[in-house]
Amino acid sequence: MYLSHFQLHAEPFSAGPDPDFLWLSDKLAAAFETLKEAVLNRDGCVLLTGDIGTGKTTLIQRLARLGGVAAVFVAIHETGLTRLGFCNSLAAEFSLKRRFERREDFYTNFKNVLLGKFSAYKKVLVVIDEAQRLNPEIIGEALELAGLELAGRKPLKVVFVGQPGVSELLKQEEGRGGFKAIAAHCDLKPFTRQETGRYLEHRLKVAGRDAPLFTEDAVKEVHALSKGYPRLINIVCDHALLYGFGSGLNQIDGRVVRECSRDLTVALDLDVVPQTDAPVFSGEETSEASNPPAPVRSGRSWRPFLYIAAAVRWGRRAWRSSR
């Protein structure tokens, strides 16, 4: 809805991971190169950790685009997953089109698929997402998978992706072999305030806009609200653009961010609802601004309410100007 208003050709702050919008800060660029080197040229597994919303999935998706690399993503949904259950999860992701009653049968079929369909790839990544839910049994299975040799080479590279607790999990006595098998470990941290500003500029440029859109005060507010977590930055900024569009603004300042953040108290885990110095909307619309759309509960459930609110405000303004 706000794209043409802000001279954009794509949503710059989509909530989902999008490797096309990946911004490589100095730290992220170093992490990416470390992961790339480990995937292509080292033996052993790779470990990528970080809190929720630090950009792990986006970074791994960009890694999966490397030439000569194929990637399959396996999410761990339960801590009690068995070895056979893990094998059947892999079977589904590799399109083996059947469930197995024995691990031996799985590996026989799996090797045939690797030698056939995936033989042209230099490496096949098995990305284990939500790896903090792994149990020692599955760690052992993953290590066995990583050590699989076919035609004199090891085609599989296991990538553990999860929250920081994965490191401790792999260091535990049962998983000791797992940590020793890690060829590279990168831990992602939230952005600093300066990095947050550059992140906004990068994503806006990828979306088609070179001119500044967020003021310095707005960047300060975005960083304070999001604590530098990319996922939260996206939520705050997308919300602010919808508010700015609804008000007919051409630039987003700190006042707009503070006003729209009142809808995001739950999503941002705020103890205190941010207060504004003055209403963002003027005239007849002041009362509407004081009663913003329903608070965020999860995901993008708040967005339809904002679209409706923005459309109503924009329509009223256009109607008044045409009279």
Following DSSP, what letter does each residue of 219-252 receive, concatenated?
Answer: HHHHHHHHTT-HHHHHHHHHHHHHHHHHTT-SSB
Q: Identify the structural domains of the chain with CATH numbers, from first to last.
A: 26-188 (3.40.50.300), 193-322 (no CATH)
Q: What percent of the chain has pLDDT over 70?
A: 80
The per-residue pLDDT of the chain, averaged, comes to 83
* Cβ atoms 310, 285 nearer than 8 A: no
* Cβ atoms 269, 232 nearer than 8 A: no
- Residue 162 DSSP symbol: E
Q: Is the pTM of this model over 0.85?
A: no
Please enumerate in sequence order all residues whose Cβ is within 8 A of that of 311, keeping only pairs 6 or more positions apart, or say none.
1, 246
Write phi, then psi, for 126 (nearest 5 degrees): -110, 100
What is the distance between the alpha carbons of residues 196 and 231, in angstroms, rounded to a whole number? Answer: 12
pLDDT, tens digit, 9 for 90 and up, residues 134-176: 998 899 899 889 889 988 888 999 999 999 988 888 877 455 5
Who wins on pLDDT, 267 or 87? 87
pLDDT, tens digit, 9 for 90 and up, residues 181-206: 889 999 999 999 999 999 999 999 99
CA angle 221, 225, 226 (to 5 degrees): 115
